[in-house]
Amino acid sequence: MVTRRNFIKKAVVGSAALSFGGVLEGFSVKSYNNIVGANERIKVGAIGVNSRGRALACNFAKQENCEVIALCDVDSRALQKCKEALLKVKDDKVKEYKDLRVMLENKNIDAVLIATPDHWHAPAALLAAKAGKHVYLEKPCSHSPEEGEILIKGARKYNCVMQMGNQRRSWPNVVEAIQELKNGIIGNVYYGKSWYTNNRPSIGVGKEVPVPEWLDWDLWQGPVPRVAFKDNIHPYNWHWFWRWGTGEALNNGTHMVDILRWGMELDYPTMVTSAGGRFRYKDDWETPDTQVISYEFGEGKMMTWEGRSCNSQNIEGSSVGAMFYGDSGSLLITGSNAYTVYDLKNKVVKDVQSNIAIDPRNLMNPAEQLDALHIQNFFNAIRKSEPLHSDIASGHKSTLLVQLGNIAQRVGHSLNIDNQNGRIMYDNDAMKYWSRSYEPGWEMKL
């Protein structure tokens, strides 16, 4: 039986080699939509289209080999804004949905992008895989370690291409920097540090108020046990509540910890320690606004992540970055598509820059053109079985590292980790955070 999904994977489409932003000079994406071959584009549904999700939906729509045909969000305002934004990219009609389960019944959809709040990431991805869709999943891939393990099994069981949004895995100069590390440009790399800084305001103390008419609060909560609506949760501050979010560690730390793990060729640590807290304001914010996570690996390797949500002083001249230290020098990757190599006397021996401007603190769309490369890798995996730059197994390992940091923070002591599988050893209190509670009927089941 030839299904649309199989056809898309086998199709030979000339547009795959075309550049981001247009086919030929003076030939727009809108023009391309009307030429022969447009019906061979991958049809995508976007789930969670507020802010970052809206930016991703537009980025997907700008790809010549893609058509965004459906939008889903529990916030009607977000749906309307995304629809208006897409009309500036293309004039195709899109179907709008409030419930992702209904959207996933649409057999014309080949793949979905997921940019919901964190508590929805893994459940939505599994539902999509079950429905026969390929998945582009924003980081973190899961809210708890167990969910990541389930997704790996789910992608395998349902033959699903599942890419995590660690977009820097596809940025050319970052890829080159990692290869330089592996080629020994700074010798044996024994320590990596990463960081993120910002100056976020207080979220205040929320008040229970009636749910706004534009929001389906029950569907917004989805898999999570129900609580009353408060006025300081949606649309962004959910990040700082353990029930729905994962704090700055997974919000931004996932990206840079992933770069360290990639460059140092590491999987699971032997020990994880975290120190920090909510220091800047007294409000409803539950996760740390200041946090340092330390990882010890076997064979004399270690790494750290420092997050400061409420003090934006840069490190190494950048608000976000990763630094590798070796026995013959160091290598710096900041938030841009660039890297710098230093010798042991701090002299610059190689400096590779990019002419594409990036704003790491832009919450919506810091690097659209570069992120398009990650999207194209996702499409090529569907069409041509090209290896994913950040498949779900790799994405889970990096997500797990920062999850372990949060677990160490919450139990207040270091964790001993089995470096063969990443599981916590000899600690029943810590293992309580390995999984999470679900609203009855919403449990993740393969």
pLDDT confidence of residue 13: 36
CB distance 366 to 320 below 8 Å: no
Contacts of 253 (CB under 8 A, 6+ apart): 194, 196, 293, 305, 307, 402, 405
pLDDT digits (tens, 9 = 90+) for 263-284: 999 999 999 999 999 999 999 9
pLDDT confidence of residue 91: 85
Q: What's the predicted TM-score (pTM) here?
A: 0.90
pLDDT digits (tens, 9 = 90+) for 17-67: 333 333 223 324 443 343 323 458 999 999 999 999 999 999 999 999 999
Q: How far apart are CA 443 and CA 24, in angstroms?
A: 48
CB distance 256 to 320 below 8 Å: yes
**The token pair that represents 262 in the structure block:** 């990639």
- What is the β-pairing status of strands 189-197 and 271-277? unpaired
pLDDT confidence of residue 4: 56
pLDDT confidence of residue 34: 35
- Token look-up 């820097």 returns 168
Confidence of residue 292 (pLDDT cuts 50, 70, 90): very high
Q: What is the DSSP annotation of 40-107?
A: GSEEEEEE--STHHHHHHHHHHHSTTEEEEEEE-SBHHHHHHHHHHHHTT-----EEES-HHHHTT-T
* Mean pLDDT value across residues 126-135: 98
pLDDT confidence of residue 26: 33
pLDDT confidence of residue 19: 31
* Whether residue 177 has pLDDT greater than 50: yes
Task: State the distance between the two ends of the chain, measured CA to CA, in whole angstroms.
Answer: 25
In sequence order, the β-bridge partners of residue 135 are 112, 162
- Token look-up 């030839």 returns 2
Adjacency order of strands within the sheet including 415-416:
348-352, 339-342, 329-334, 320-326, 189-197, 301-308, 290-297, 271-277, 415-416
* Mean pLDDT value across residues 211-226: 98
Among the residue ranges 140-149, 364-373, 393-402, the one predicted with the least confidence is: 364-373
Confidence of residue 15 (pLDDT cuts 50, 70, 90): very low
**The token pair that represents 86 in the structure block:** 């897409």
**The token pair that represents 155 in the structure block:** 């992608």
* Whether residue 2 has pLDDT greater than 70: no
* Whether residue 14 has pLDDT greater than 60: no
Structural domains of the chain, with CATH: 4-169+372-384 (3.40.50.720), 172-208+212-362+392-431 (3.30.360.10)
CB distance 340 to 351 below 8 Å: yes
Angle at 369 between CA 363 and CA 174, to 5 degrees: 85
Cβ-based burial of 35 (10 A; exposed 0-12, middle 13-18, buried ≥19):
exposed
**CA of residue 86 relative to chain centroid, distance:** 22
Q: How far apart are CA 430 and CA 437, in angstroms?
A: 15
| Host H or E run for residue 308 | strand 301-308
